[in-house]
Homo-oligomer: A and B are copies of this chain.
Amino acid sequence: MLSTTPRTTLGRSKERGSTDRDDLYEVLDTGLICHLGVVVDGHPMVVPTGYGRVGDTLYLHGSTGARSLRTGTGTDVCVTVTHLDGLVLARSIFHHSVNYRSAMIYGPARLVTDEDEREQGLRALAEQLAPGQWDYVRRPSRKELAATAVLALSLEEASVKIRRGGPVDEEEDYDLPVWAGVLPLVMSWGAPEPDSVLPEGIEAPVHILHRE
């Protein structure tokens, strides 16, 4: 079960809220980037960035010099992951909507200092974006590790919203001679584009060529 705190209890559209922890994992595990919200000098700042999950911990990373990460450490952050699945085209403008799956996680970001946990977090971050690459390419050197800040965020306080299905129209609008339904949005991987200086004979590995 997901937590219910004042900010994870949906004020509106309660039927779209999910309290199933598996839904949270599904939204997070199938995403590629998140939007990280921090407060800088009292003002909000929303930055797109990578993430990875290990159990009930979300890992974020960045340069040790990045403003958004410096500010976020120890202070409250909000991480939002959104999948846009399609447009819901109704018979009236007012009832237009989108099908989506989104997760919001709130909490203090903890700077990870333990070397094992840092490596675990970085591996999760890499595997989230590009599964298979951690074991395929050169791993981080000591110097590279030192230049990378790893932050951990507990999944304790989280909410999930999901909308699926067709439009819901006003009763009297169903008679309008207007097409209504869903226009699905599909994300897919294109053909891998080799680096211009890649030597001949090096083929893309299966985990890239046949990524789902």
Please report A residues at the B interface, Cβ cutoff 8 Å.
7, 11-12, 32-33, 35-40, 42-48, 50, 63, 65-67, 76-80, 82, 84, 86-87, 89-94, 96, 98, 100, 102, 104, 106, 122, 126, 129-130, 133-134, 136-141, 144, 148, 166-167, 173-174, 176-198, 202-205, 208, 211
Contact = CB atoms under 8 A, between A and B. Distances in A.
8 contacts: A7-B45, A35-B37, A45-B104, A94-B148, A137-B178, A179-B203, A183-B189, A183-B211
A86 B189 CA distance: 8
B136 A65 contact: no
A44 B189 contact: no
A65 B11 contact: yes
A179 B196 contact: no
A72 to B, nearest CB: 9
A106 B138 CA distance: 39
A73 to B, nearest CB: 14
A140 B93 contact: yes
Nearest to A141: B94
Given A46-B104, A137-B176, A174-B197, 12 more contacts: A12-B65, A91-B138, A92-B138, A93-B140, A94-B141, A96-B126, A136-B178, A137-B178, A167-B195, A182-B192, A184-B189, A185-B190
